[in-house]
Structure 1
């Protein structure tokens, strides 16, 4: 747990779902504190409740018991202080990049001149200034995800909740977007909770890696990564990275002597 006041606090959260006459426990007594400006990744086997945890923090699901707090206040629904980014981009196909980024600002009544300036700033921040007037269908998958990130940033959330945002991308694009995300985060530090099933991605991005255990979902291990380490190719190839990766890998695949199978499935409790 962090020593500074928590930006996000998950306190003894349990979440159950009804499946016909049976009840399935997705999360079981999960507690986790995340400090302001911290970048935390969550990794674990399929069915460990990663996405359920994020949905609770996003206000899209309510816990069965326990509570989730943001800045000390209980989460009771979606809020502008939390930007949510999914794997599927969720862009409006009939709007340009600029119009997509401006959308949330327009719905909250931000004046045209201000929303244009803010949109331009974040479009440039993610490197899409040459494509501001392009429609999503003309962009690559990586560019669409950068547009989704810019849109989330534009409404000025203090927290980014990211649910496997790079999971559908090819390996090279994924690496480039990991580096782009860290560059953006270093310039405008938000608190980030990043869900992934990729161990390398979890270690490369995080200040802390939270490993979840499945059925029922719970915190199994927490691995600290020195925030002073430069996240570049040299780090990816270093003995330090290998040691961290191996520890997280063992925690995910060999929990309590069992072999946990990671998969790319996206069930409601993945």
Structure 2
């Protein structure tokens, strides 16, 4: 498998008033091209810091972060980033929000609109393309944020708990929407979550992090076919994988050596 994202012995130390905090303690991880990888772990394990490094928003104290064979030196259009907060411009329509990143390029207006409309269709918001964010539900706002990331045509999607603030039903619906979109576009996805069931349902592989310092505790292969369905979520095979990841997250030996 071709590696799309690689972390090599990544260490991140933050200065504190009374010393330092070791957020990451030597993380090595490869994410393959077109792979959907979820990352879970206890609070303080550095999973969001790891994603921010891939996005070019945080620099490692030591070690290397590589995307497409090139060291990450900052943000770039090859990586779309989606956070828990929607960060939409309230005075712009859905289409204008989705077009925003494209306006920073020399792309003609007609092509920008066509690209935005395609992304909006992918996330099922065509009927709301001319609506303002204040008229949208939380789930629709997050779909708009996902469409905005897709519109710039990134090869990698970096998603930091994008459904964490949503109610349970909307969350499940957006999981299915995301997988449907991913099956059509097949971009590489690194998805941070604190929800074990969500991690298993979405991923090809689940990376379980350990904390203090953050490191890879274990990696669980999810050998379930796509498309994922409600019936699959209720299956014994899914339950076994969920329980395995749950145990890895919540029954870690604090003294265990990094994986």
**For 2:24, which of 27, 30, 42 is the aligned residue?**
27
Cα displacement (A) at 1:109: 2.1
Determine the C-alpha separation between the residues in 1 that align with 2:176 and 2:227.
11
TM-score (norm 2): 0.97
Determine the C-alpha separation between the residues in 2 that align with 1:105 and 1:133.
17
**How many residues were matched structurally?**
255
Cα displacement (A) at 1:230: 3.3
Cα displacement (A) at 1:228: 2.5
Cα deviation 1:129-169 (Å, max 9, x = unaligned):
11001010110000000000000000000000000000000
Residue of structure 2 equivalent to 1:231 = 228
**For 2:166, which of 165, 169, 172 is the aligned residue?**
169
Residue of structure 2 equivalent to 1:78 = 75
Is 1:202 aligned with 2:180? Answer: no
**For 1:156, which of 150, 153, 158 is the aligned residue?**
153
Query: Is contact 2:179–2:227 with CA below 8 Å preserved after alignment?
Result: no
Is 1:119 aligned with 2:116? Answer: yes
Cα displacement (A) at 1:257: 7.0
Task: Identify unmatched segments of 5+ residues in structure 1.
Answer: 259-270
Cα displacement (A) at 1:110: 1.2
Identify if the C-alpha distance between structure 1 residues 10 and 257 changes in structure 2 by more than 3 Å, giving closer, same or farther: closer
Identify if the C-alpha distance between structure 1 residues 257 and 216 changes in structure 2 by more than 3 Å, giving closer, same or farther: closer
Secondary structure of 2:183's counterpart equals helix
Residue of structure 1 equivalent to 2:15 = 18
TM-score (norm 1): 0.93
Question: After TM superposition, where is structure 1 displaced by more than 4 Å over at least 4 residues in a row?
Answer: none
Larger CA deviation: 177-186 vs 218-227: 218-227
Is 1:180 aligned with 2:180? Answer: no
Cα displacement (A) at 1:5: 2.2
Cα displacement (A) at 1:116: 0.5
Cα deviation 1:94-140 (Å, max 9, x = unaligned):
10000000011111121100000111111111100110010101100
Determine the C-alpha separation between the residues in 2 that align with 1:7 and 1:122.
23
Determine the C-alpha separation between the residues in 2 that align with 1:75 and 1:227.
32
Determine the C-alpha separation between the residues in 2 that align with 1:62 and 1:198.
27
Residue of structure 2 equivalent to 1:37 = 34
Residue of structure 2 equivalent to 1:61 = 58
